[in-house]
Amino acid sequence: MRKSMIKFSMGLAMAATLFSGVASAEEGAMNGDVANGKKIFTEGKGVAPPCMTCHGENGWGTEAMGAPRLANLGYPYIVKQLTDLAEGRRTPSGPGAVMPLFAQQLSPQDRRDLSAYVNSLNTKPDLSDLAGIKAGGQPVGERYKGEAIALYGISGKVSACQSCHGYNGRGAAPVFPVIGQQKYTYLVNQLHNWRDQSRANDPYGMMRAIAKNLTDDDIINVAAYLAWAPRETPGNGLVPETTR
């Protein structure tokens, strides 16, 4: 009895710390200047080129570069990533290795402005061309197998992605980003990065704990499913109001 009480209050304390960090990011939503965000996104700042050269004019990412969709991923999540990138907590390799330098060109207010801008984009989804990627020689997984992982997890090994990221990965702000309808190549890269711990900016190691039990096949299967996963709940054509 006592033991479980301690466990319970530790859980509460953990949740409190987790949310106090992001609460301050959320307050920034009030000061996000969309016009300044747009200016930097389209014109760049300092040595950072326009963000849209890699993240796309509409914020839907670029497959070949492994550049993610930024449109509507969640305001506090984007603020956190730009801060982590600028402060050395996230150090990508490959084409994204330039991101820390670019994030350092931005003031804390710029980061909030950019996040407010990309979160305001109501652009048409530009989803990964899975057939084209496969034709280009990159392995593409099987969507029905990935759907099982996203919705139910792998028994005894991996929690369902939706238990944190929301149905079909549509996001649960402030902590859990949108991963549904994210670019396929980016999803595959990040799952590998979490698994080999080269990305380690996840609160409490939550994603590293998930990814360490995913096989290469699980990764391409779940990425193939998520890249096209609809936001809508089946049987209900309404897109739910999320807190992002």
The reply on whether position 92 binds ligand HEC by CB under 6 A is yes
The stretch among 6-14, 77-85, 128-136, 228-236 that binds ligand HEC (CB under 6 A) is 77-85
The reply on whether position 210 binds ligand HEC by CB under 6 A is yes
The reply on whether position 53 binds ligand HEC by CB under 6 A is yes
The reply on whether position 71 binds ligand HEC by CB under 6 A is no
Judged by CB under 6 A, the residue of 22, 71, 86, 114 near ligand HEC is: 114
Closest CA to 23 of 203, 175, 172: 175
Is the separation of the CB atoms in 65 and 95 below 8 Å?
Answer: yes
The reply on whether position 173 binds ligand HEC by CB under 6 A is no
The reply on whether position 99 binds ligand HEC by CB under 6 A is yes
Angle at 45 between CA 44 and CA 48, to 5 degrees: 70
Angle at 88 between CA 40 and CA 85, to 5 degrees: 30
The reply on whether position 91 binds ligand HEC by CB under 6 A is no
The stretch among 8-16, 27-35, 45-53, 128-136 that binds ligand HEC (CB under 6 A) is 45-53
Q: Which is nearer to ligand HEC, 76 or 237 (CB)?
A: 76
Alpha-carbon span 61 to 52, nearest angstrom: 8
User: How buried is 111 (Cβ within 10 angstroms: 0-12 exposed, 13-18 middle, 19+ buried)?
Assistant: buried
Closest CA to 29 of 74, 65, 62: 74
The stretch among 9-17, 25-33, 98-106, 134-142 that binds ligand HEC (CB under 6 A) is 98-106
Q: Per the omega criterion (within 30 degrees of 0), is the bond before 234 cis? A: no
181: left (phi over 0), alpha (psi -120 to 50) or beta: left
Q: Which is nearer to ligand HEC, 212 or 237 (CB)?
A: 212
CA torsion, points 207, 59, 55, 150, in degrees to nearest 10? 30
Alpha-carbon span 78 to 67, nearest angstrom: 14
The reply on whether position 229 binds ligand HEC by CB under 6 A is no
Q: Which is nearer to ligand HEC, 44 or 232 (CB)?
A: 44
The reply on whether position 76 binds ligand HEC by CB under 6 A is no
The residue ranges that bind ligand HEC (CB under 6 A) are 40, 48-49, 51, 53-55, 65-68, 70, 73, 78, 80-82, 92, 95-96, 98-99, 102, 114, 149, 158-159, 161, 163-165, 175-177, 179, 187, 189-191, 201-203, 206-207, 210, 222
